[in-house]
Structure 1
């Protein structure tokens, strides 16, 4: 009899931990296949393992580099993961993150292959329909994992038979990218046909809304391989199924009111665990910590943080402040293009997405008032009359959070007032607007102001210390990504326990707009979908300012709109690849810190050397070109 072995084909990949979706796990690893998967408990335990890969690519560093960096949106701070950011010599087959992605995605594929292969042997289901609803989760997740594999690595090995049947495959062969997409699309269609309309069990399990959204993404991404009109037509059809029939699937865009934009409501902690725009999520257990790696979740935010630990400290900011997070990484910061071209660089735009995407106000979190000193005035070129001005403490402790009654502390709780009547909160320490403020304002206001004129050289690159006498300081203080920081779910300065959306409804509207243009140049339909997203980015009294004409809605405009809408959500590298913008000219124009991009090399990643060393036919299989 075959024993259950959770080993991926090629004898390379280690199985990862238990999914947060799992409750009472039954471990069949010591019994034979026929017994292990004959009964529903054992089979559904395997389905739970299929979700595991999500937890190592979202809310973690490995997914951020591969999916968001090396684009027009982000630059490097700490010289970590520079292979992804700069396309320099660190982008090579030894890069550890690549092995993590490769191993994790193939592990997911193998779990899903196993579930699909043995599905018809499982007893205890009341009907074929009930069985198909469960195996459809594996079809969906196999499609999702293969999509990442083909987009990251190109036409590599395409597997459908589990390693329990094949044993180690020592001489794998490559499949074409088209073959990958044929399987991806087939898997996702099965998922749309058999997954339930609404969640029936634990939060986080995929349903039809996830399947239609992922199918729309896959069809749209496939346009880069040809047959553009037909793939765009099918992408539009899948997207419109969700948009038109949202009530059937329990999805809708958040609507603005006079006080808050719909985009603001989308990212509100109050809506995080039951969000009408989240279609496919990494569900995080915030009450008992039943997640892979327990409470160690939601670390996306820490890699995008400004230096509140040291550079900002004289003004009252703290590394250990739980809301903004732990600023010990400082890997990624926004480009000039993102801050000043995609987002309108003015003090009060109708579009709220800059203020909802970034922290740009940092408050005194020292647990004591900070008094501006003569040395601070001299170093930061402040008006001498500010000596002695008090920046009030805003930190408070014993703030009870959602998860299990945990107590923590954070800035922005105490003294959030303007008692001196200058128009600014008395506890404001550092202000990092995306618009340029006058030298007089910067000198007169009683907090440190760092703006685009301090961050960027004339050529758009980030300042270097030798080119700007304050650059050592100003290049470390900038707007920090805050999408994954709703303060109801900050466990401590490092971990955030909110759910993380992998696909959400706002993106589906933009998929529909792009597909409408590619299919039959229906600019009016594209405008309708773009404006639906843009209107909900403003409060009701300013929504008319957000509307664009049909003539404005081009593919380039939609790409820009995706940047405004989805910054930091691990979509951008794939967007540029699909839309033909992974080119040296485009990257040089939008992110001039990128100097080494080579279109003959960098549109796919190198295959991990650990894989090449382990197979019997490395010459035949071949490394990706020019690596």
Structure 2
């Protein structure tokens, strides 16, 4: 949000243990309570802002690769390359004490408690509403976030406790509801949100009807799958997505023409334009309010306002560090280990699999613009002094690098500025795992604030982009039995990329997951998608990095319930997911 005001609610630590015993010594009188703080719509909106802040933690929280695991670490699209013994690259390291599960489980249940407290307060007769519609809109926004939390928890963990009211008294006897019951609540909340949220808003990043209908479509599919393939629910999923696609809840369409403040940069395309970092004067290519009609919900970040970034990452966002290779750090082929503006400063924490780098695009066809050099950088060159701002007189430099070829033969590689670095010169693990591999350009920037690549990178995040709405409706059509319309929806997305159209006979869940990877890599929570479908094991076993293939197990189709949650519920049965 451009205007971020934080008001923290009083909550109990019910589902996860608290490591800091100072929490237990805090006095409730030190806090504003819901009853005495939320008495008009403006105060409720202040409370709602806190939910946006917490959701932002799912995207940008700590400078640590484990916090990005749900983008698909160890699955068909990414793995952690530093070692074959990294968690998620090696699935045998994953268990109920893996701390990231405690963190994300606790994050969403903490938000759920606050959402339920706020919802309860909306019914307090002391609240001064201007109209019933105002009250319903506040409730709709809160219920959107409750649906969001249970969507995350249900997809990732399966059945979890369903709470529709705030918990007033600590308990040691919570029990798990079924996954079907979790998805049912998501459907109810997103239905309500879709009915009562506004069509449009002035503030970038605030949720609207289209966001609710997008998630509603997904949750209808999930509920239908859980019920064994309920055709009526698949039809409802089609109808929910159609509310967005058919422009019944606002003007939305894919951006097929060059747009935004960098639209005149030569050699690029409309897909590239979608992911350009906010300009120095604040123009956002991501924002619906500035003309991006594909943008449905964007996670707001801004380096230059107080509260514009999360506390754990107060100077930057981490897409570039996580997903880009550290080619700048090489001391070969003319590089000197110093990051410069055009290079970015990737660390290579999540490397694309060979399946993503090669097989996906061979299936898609050479014409697919999403695989063009503008969108996936595959050609690495020796640094050009003109680009680097070095004296042009140095352009006559010849870079000499001694390498050992794969057959053990020593070789002297000579390059001039701008020469291509040949693949056969990359022979060490560090060369190919950390330094040089295909660079997904939408996850970084060719310029940085103050030309400073380390902390001069701050990019927003798409939580929902309309291309995904088409792919959700295609999934619903396919499962309903209508592959013709499924292919038509997929081809709307492929058409923008100038890719060869899909045929109805090609359409199955693998094709849809492949297309999601091409279009949404680094945006969607890939692990969540695969867990929702029960296909994390299958896709990783077939397409993952070899260390992940060899260690993934069917139990990994769900995340383990954190052991701290099981231990905290000592007065009731709270079983873990099968295999954990």
Q: TM-score range by the shorter chain?
A: 0.7 to 0.9
2:194–2:213: 8 Å Cα contact kept in structure 1?
yes
The counterpart of 1:156, out of the listed 141, 160, 169, is 160
8 A Cα contact 1:13 1:103, kept in partner: no
The one of 10, 30, 42 aligned to 1:5: 10
Residue matched to 1:483 = 442
Q: Take 1:198 and 1:58, find their aligned partners in 2: how far apart are those partners? A: 24
**Compared with structure 1, are the counterparts of its residues 506 and 58 closer, same or farther at alpha carbon in structure 2 (3 Å cutoff)?**
same
Cα deviations by residue, 1:297-318 (Å, 9 ceiling, x for unpaired): 4212212222224435543265
How many residues in Structure 1 have an aligned counterpart in Structure 2? 529
Contact 1:216 1:511 in 2 (8 A): yes
Distance 1:29 1:529, change over 3 A: farther
Q: In the aligned structure 2, how far is the partner of 1:99 from the partner of 1:80? A: 24
Asked if 1:250 corresponds to 2:251, the answer is yes
State the TM-score, normalized to the length of structure 1. Answer: 0.76
1:256-275 to 2 correspondence within 5 Å? Answer: 256=257, 260-269=268-277, 271-273=285-287, 274=290, 275=292
Of 107, 110, 122 in structure 2, the residue corresponding to residue 107 of structure 1 is 110
Q: 1:523 aligns with which of 476, 480, 483?
A: 483
Q: State the alpha-carbon separation in 2 of the partners of residues 552 and 169 from structure 1.
A: 51
Given that 2:40 and 2:129 are in contact with CA atoms closer than 8 Å, whether structure 1 keeps it comes out as: no
Deviates more, 1:332-341 or 1:254-263: 254-263
Matched residue of 2:285: which SS? helix
State the shift of 1:14 in Å: 9.7
Cα offset, 1:589, TM superposition = 4.5
Matches of 2:135 and 2:374 in 1, distance apart? 42
Task: Indicate if the aligned counterparts of 1:256 and 1:537 stay in contact, CA closer than 8 A.
Answer: no
**Residues 190 and 216, structure 2, Cα contact 8 Å, conserved in 1:** yes
Per-residue deviation, 1:472? 4.4
- Alpha-carbon distance between aligned partners in 2 of 1:261 and 1:598, rounded to the nearest angstrom: 40
Aligned residue in 1 for 2:470: 509
The aligned counterpart of 1:23 is: none
| Residues 353, 537 of structure 1: 8 Å contact kept | no
- How far apart in 2 are the matches of 1:324 and 1:498? 16
Partner of 1:320 in structure 2?
Answer: 339
Alpha carbons 1:8, 1:106 under 8 Å: kept = no
Matches within 5 A, 1:128-527: 128-163=132-167, 166-200=168-202, 202-228=203-229, 229-245=231-247, 248-256=249-257, 260-269=268-277, 271-273=285-287, 274=290, 275-291=292-308, 292-293=310-311, 295-311=314-330, 313-316=332-335, 318=337, 320-327=339-346, 329-344=347-362, 349-353=367-371, 355=373, 357-362=375-380, 364=383, 368=390, 369=394, 371-376=397-402, 387=414, 390-391=416-417, 428=418, 446-450=419-423, 470-476=428-434, 477-487=436-446, 492-495=452-455, 496-519=457-480, 521-527=481-487
Counterpart of 1:50 in 2: which secondary structure?
Answer: helix
Equivalents in 1 of 2:566, 2:519: separation in Å? 38
**What secondary structure, in the 3-state scheme, does the structure 2 residue paired with 1:132 have?**
helix
Aligned residue in 2 for 1:621 = 574
1:153 deviates by 1.5
Deviation for aligned residue 1:256: 3.8
- Cα deviation code 1:142-189 (max 9, x no counterpart): 1111111112212122222224xx222222111111110111110111
Q: Where do 5+ consecutive residues of structure 2 fail to align?
A: 1-7, 21-27, 259-265, 278-283
Q: Is the 8 A contact 2:214 2:240 kept in 1?
A: yes
Partner Cα distance (2:331, 2:53) in 1: 38
- Specify which of 581, 596, 610 is matched with residue 551 of structure 2: 596
CA distance in structure 2 between the partners assigned to 1:79 and 1:29 by the alignment: 47
Distance of 1:28 and 1:498 partners within structure 2: 39
Distance in 2 (CA, whole Å) between partners of 1:221 and 1:357 is: 32
Counterpart check, 1:92 vs 2:129: no
- Alpha-carbon shift at residue 119 of structure 1 (Å): 1.0
**1:408 equivalent in structure 2:** none
Q: Does 1:581 align with 2:541?
A: no
Deviation at 1:508, TM superposition (A): 0.6
Contact 2:75 2:539 (8 Å CA) reproduced: no
Structure 1 residue 117: deviation in Å?
Answer: 1.2
Give, in angstroms, the shift of residue 606 of structure 1: 1.7
Q: Quick one: distance in 2 between partners of 1:345 and 1:129?
A: 50
Contact 1:523 1:551 in 2 (8 A): yes
Q: How much is the aligned-residue C-alpha RMSD, in angstroms? A: 3.3
- Cα 1:303–1:586 shift into 2, 3 Å: closer
Report the alpha carbon displacement of residue 509 of structure 1 after superposing the two structures with TM: 0.5
Change (3 A) 1:78 1:378: closer
Change (3 A) 1:93 1:154: same
Q: Which TM-score applies when normalising by structure 2?
A: 0.82
Contact 1:94 1:608 in 2 (8 A): yes
SS at 1:502's partner residue? strand
Given the superposition, is the C-alpha separation of residues 43 and 81 from structure 1 closer, same or farther in structure 2, using an over 3 Å criterion? farther
**Do 2:560 and 2:577's aligned partners in 1 also have CA atoms closer than 8 Å?**
yes
Structure 1 window deviating more from structure 2 (171-180 vs 276-285): it is 276-285
2:86 to 82, 95, 112: 82
In structure 2, what is the equivalent of residue 125 of structure 1?
A: 129
**Residue number in structure 2 paired with 1:564:** 518
The structure-2 alpha-carbon separation of the partners of 1:79 and 1:105, relative to structure 1 and needing over 3 Å to count, comes to: farther
Q: Which residue of 1 aligns with 2:4?
A: none
Separation in 2, partners of 1:564, 1:46: 37
CA contact (8 A) 2:180 2:227 kept: no
Pick closer, same or farther for the CA change 1:337–1:46 going to 2, 3 Å.
same
In structure 2, distance between residues paired with 1:65 and 1:191:
29
Instruction: Check the 8 A contact 1:284/1:497 in 2, yes or no.
Output: yes
| Residue aligned with 2:442, SS | coil
For structure 1, list consecutive stretches of 5 or more residues without a partner in the other structure. Answer: 16-26, 392-427, 429-445, 456-468, 539-544
